[in-house]
Structure formats: C-alpha cells, structure tokens
Amino acid sequence: MGEWVYLNGEFVRKNEAKISVFDHGFLYGDGVFEGIRAYGGRVFRLQSHLQRLWESAKAIALKIPLSKEKLTEKVLESLRKNKLKDAYIRLVVSRGEGDLGLDPRKCPHPQIIIITDKISIYPEELYEKGLEIAVVSTRRNIPSTLNPRIKSLNYLNNILAKIEANLQGLPEAIMLNKDGYVAECTGDNIFIVEGEILVTPPIWVGALKGITRDVVIELAQKEGISVQERTFAPAALYASDECFLTGTAAEVIPVTKVDGRTIGNGIAGPITKRLIKKFRELTKKEGTLIYNN
C-alpha cells in the first residue's frame, strides 16, 4: 500500500489514517466509493469513475464536499505523493461522523478518503486458463429496495454471495436477480458469447453500470462484434461459446467452467482473447496523466 492516505484535506501516514467509530460509513455503510486503476502513469477513465461516484452520491442525497476538478487533482496528488504509476485507487466518500441514530442530517461533514495501492486479483495464467465459478443462491438486491447501480459502502449482498463461492472453493459467484436472470458477479459484470454475438445483462436486471463493462462494449463495437444487452438465464450461460467477466480490478478475464459445466473448449475463446488484447492496449495509451512532464 502507498505510505500516504488522503483523509479530509490532508495526507497522513497509513498507520495514522483513522476515522471516528461514529462515522455512519462505518456504522451503517452509509457512503459511496469507486475503485480506479492507473497504468503506466495514466489514470484510466478517471472522469467516468467520478461521474459514477457523483451519481451514486446523488442517489443517497450525499453532498461530496469537493468539486470534480478538485477531486481529480487530489487523486493525482495521492499517486504522486506515493510515487505510484501503476496502482489501484480506492476513493471513498462517507456520510461522516454523527450519532448512533440513522438520521443523515446528524452528519454535517462528509469524509473523503483516497487510498492508493498495488492490486493483483488473479494470477496471469488464469487469463488464458480461465476461472471456474458458480451460480449461488443469494439473489441480487432488487433495484426498488437498494439499487445495485448505487456503488455504496454497504456490500453485504455481494459479500454473502462471495461467502457462498468461498465455501465451494471458487474465486467468484454469479448472482441472479429475483426473476432468475443472470445479473452480475460479486465484483464484476458478466458477458457471454453466442456464435459471433456478445451478450451482457441489461443494467435494469440488477447490475452495476461497470466502467470496464462500458469500455468492453465500445471495443467490441469498434471491432465489428455485435453486442446485445438482454436477459438470459443460467441455461444460456451453460450453452454459451465463451464467457468472461469485466471489472476495474479483474479487467477482462475468461470463465471456462460454470457450475461444473465446461464453457466452450474450456480455455479462453477467440473473442475473449481479442478483447483482452484490445483492452490492455487501450489502458497503455488512454488516461489522465499523473505527471505532466
């Protein structure tokens, strides 16, 4: 981890970065966050991440105490302070300190925290071999109760599904929505390939509007690959020719076995490999520069 953490207007050493036990982010998961990546001195899709952060904050009536421009600079400053060019950035906005009641009006000072770190979710060989994952019994939050589009600090829904994956010795879990359609994984969006068509669940089924998801759709369309956003059940997943996951941390990673069923030929398929290559090429040349020189 980077030695310095940005905490409410100043940089403090990581072992001194502390919040109040009365912070509603801690007490109730009342807050929002983003995970962002930097590659080779460039922060990838930073403005897209900030836009989603603002949308999440507005959805829970949380006012972010800095402008997007100021927050952009603080993210870049955090990376410079920690001398990082390749990094994972965790940007957190919590409701702030209040009392033991739920009322957010008792929390007048939202907190901004920026943590920078190195991250490697999966070993490189799995980007060829692929993941084995499973559909679990924990259903995705219903959008009318807690919309999955809000990237909030309350991740219990995802964690419960992750626990199910852990108990099966698997790295990731597929979550269905209340109607039994594939929604997303605990930390990633999901795609399948049917012939030459790329298919991913629409956001309204109960998925996060992933930044990497959107990038992959853009790349696929530029490559002349037909993309469809439509519902599908696990049976379509089992019968698919290819499957892969997308996320800021995982990037683009193939899935080669679901619920014990082999997907396609049991290795990363041609469309998946093509999109992995294109995604990695893009991250090397696009992004907000950390250093101007």
Alpha-carbon distances, residue 291 vs 22, 83, 133 (angstroms): 37, 10, 39
In sequence order, the β-bridge partners of residue 4 are 13
CA–CA separation, 260 and 133 (whole Å): 8
- Under 8 Å between Cβ of 190 and 161: no
188's torsion region: left (phi>0), alpha (psi -120 to 50) or beta? beta
Alpha-carbon distances, residue 41 vs 79, 83, 111, 276, 290 (angstroms): 9, 10, 27, 20, 5
Which structure tokens are listed for 124? 């490189």
Residue of 238, 120, 124, 136 lying closest to 185 (CA atoms): 136
- Give the active site residue among 151, 209, 222, 285: 151
- Under 8 Å between Cβ of 67 and 50: no
Catalytic residue at 257? no
Element (H, E) at 23: none
- Under 8 Å between Cβ of 134 and 173: yes
Give the residue numbers marked as catalytic: 151
